[in-house]
């Protein structure tokens, strides 16, 4: 066991954990942020996606010792208080989720995509989101919400 200091959603947490403990379990069990989900546990499905310094990462496969002192954002930190992120608003408007299990991961990847590429094509969306699986097949609605968010961001008067 060792002590680790993590900045999650702007708050610093000190946790005791084995060096190799995956970040996902620290978030869920030690800090109580259960939005990121366990799917495959081997970095293949994207259900556990959070952002590390703004980039999507698979928290099931990231040892806590690798993220100390870095900026972690989870789905619980995506909104600005009660003000939902534009993607969260569109997720609601377009009824994106079905069972919902993959959706926190989908949103964290989609938000990171728009930060790095504010006007992605459908092909770029599909390529960026390819690591986030949805067994309910919500891909078309996810793509539509991302495209709409990009259009709204690029046309602020609309």
Q: What is the layout of strands, in order, in the sheet containing 49-52?
A: 11-17, 2-8, 71-73, 49-52, 55-58
Among 23, 45, 107, 149, binds ligand FES (CB under 6 A): 45
Pairing between strand 71-73 and 55-58?
A: unpaired
- Confirm or reject binding of residue 87 to ligand FES (CB under 6 A): no
Among 15, 17, 52, 60, binds ligand FES (CB under 6 A): 60
| H/E stretch holding 8 | strand 2-8
CB of 106 to ligand FES, least distance (A): 7
The 8-class DSSP code of residue 102 comes to T
SS3 94: coil
Nearest residue (CB) to ligand FES, 3 versus 20: 20
Tokens of 80: 């600005």
Among 51, 74, 103, 109, binds ligand FES (CB under 6 A): 103
Segment 112-141, which members bind ligand FES (CB under 6 A)? 134-136, 138
Return the closest-CA partner of residue 51 out of 78, 86, 91: 78
Number of residues binding to ligand FES, judged by CB under 6 A: 23
Residues near ligand FES (CB under 6 A)? 38-41, 43-48, 58, 60, 97-103, 134-136, 138
């Amino acid at each position: 066991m060792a002590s680790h200091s993590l900045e999650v959603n702007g708050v610093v947490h000190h946790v005791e954990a084995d060096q190799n403990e995956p970040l996902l379990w620290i978030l869920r069990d030690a800090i109580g942020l259960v939005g990121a989900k366990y799917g495959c546990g081997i970095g293949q499905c994207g259900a556990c996606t959070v952002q590390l310094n703004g980039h999507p990462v698979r928290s099931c496969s990231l040892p806590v010792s690798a993220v100390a002192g870095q900026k972690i954002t989870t789905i619980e930190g995506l909104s600005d208080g009660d003000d939902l992120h534009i993607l969260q608003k569109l997720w609601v408007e377009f009824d994106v989720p079905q069972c919902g299990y993959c959706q926190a991961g989908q949103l964290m990847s989609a938000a990171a995509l728009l930060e790095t590429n504010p006007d992605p094509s459908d092909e770029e969306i599909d390529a960026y989101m390819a690591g986030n699986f949805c067994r309910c097949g919500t891909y078309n609605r996810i793509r539509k919400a991302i495209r709409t968010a990009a259009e709204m961001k690029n046309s602020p008067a609309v």
